[in-house]
């Protein structure tokens, strides 16, 4: 199946975090692609990616980066698609706040839906929810996923109160 979600990241060092987006998309059976696009080291590749993603059938972009994390914002500046930004606590990040604020504090007109530091799992769920607006079978899988979360907590409550 053609990918509907594109997971991009500034470096392969972001992979341990960004794999969490991949895993939840696999669990929810959402077709995705995953690659490296660096705003600073491969600016031309970033431009080409952002200009063409929607023409290839991509519906949502998840972009992860750390430190001076310009990738999500620059992709959002170029692409008409919704961009979900994942701040990564990377080797060049002071304490994670640099990554968070670089992705969060976008100027008016260019939104990036920013998840928590290292929050790639939630980025994957949010991307699936956006895709599910036009896909009722996927929406049913998301409903089942939420029911599973509830059941897991109820089981913990049951054990704790026993």
Per CB under 6 A, 90 contacts ligand RP5: yes
**Cα-to-chain-centroid distance, residue 93:** 19
User: Is 17 or 28 the residue whose CB approaches ligand RP5 more closely?
Assistant: 17
Per CB under 6 A, 102 contacts ligand RP5: no
Judged by DSSP in three states, 21 sits in: helix
Which residue stretch of 19-27, 59-67, 72-80, 140-148 sits at the interface with ligand RP5 (rule: CB under 6 A)?
A: 59-67
User: Is 99 or 132 the residue whose CB approaches ligand RP5 more closely?
Assistant: 99
In terms of residues, how long is the chain? 162
65 exposed, middle or buried (CB, 10 Å; 0-12, 13-18, 19+)?
buried
Size of the site for ligand RP5 (CB under 6 A): 14
User: Is 10 or 124 the residue whose CB approaches ligand RP5 more closely?
Assistant: 10
> Distance (Å, rounded) from C-alpha 96 to C-alpha 118?
9
């Amino acid at each position: 199946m053609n990918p509907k979600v594109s997971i991009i990241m500034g470096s392969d060092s972001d992979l341990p975090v960004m794999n969490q987006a991949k895993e939840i998309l696999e669990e929810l059976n959402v077709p995705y692609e995953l690659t490296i696009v660096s705003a600073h080291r491969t600016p031309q590749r970033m431009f080409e990616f952002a200009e063409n993603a929607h023409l290839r059938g991509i519906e949502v972009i998840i972009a992860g980066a750390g430190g001076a994390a310009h990738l999500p914002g620059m992709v959002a500046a170029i692409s008409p698609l919704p961009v979900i930004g994942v701040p990564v606590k990377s080797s060049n990040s002071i304490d994670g706040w640099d990554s968070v604020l670089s992705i969060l504090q976008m100027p008016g007109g260019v939104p990036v839906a920013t998840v928590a530091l290292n929050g790639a799992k939630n980025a994957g769920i949010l991307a699936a929810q956006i895709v599910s607006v036009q896909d009722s079978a996927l929406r049913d899988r998301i409903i089942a996923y939420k029911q599973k979360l509830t059941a897991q907590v109820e089981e913990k409550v049951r054990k704790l109160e026993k």
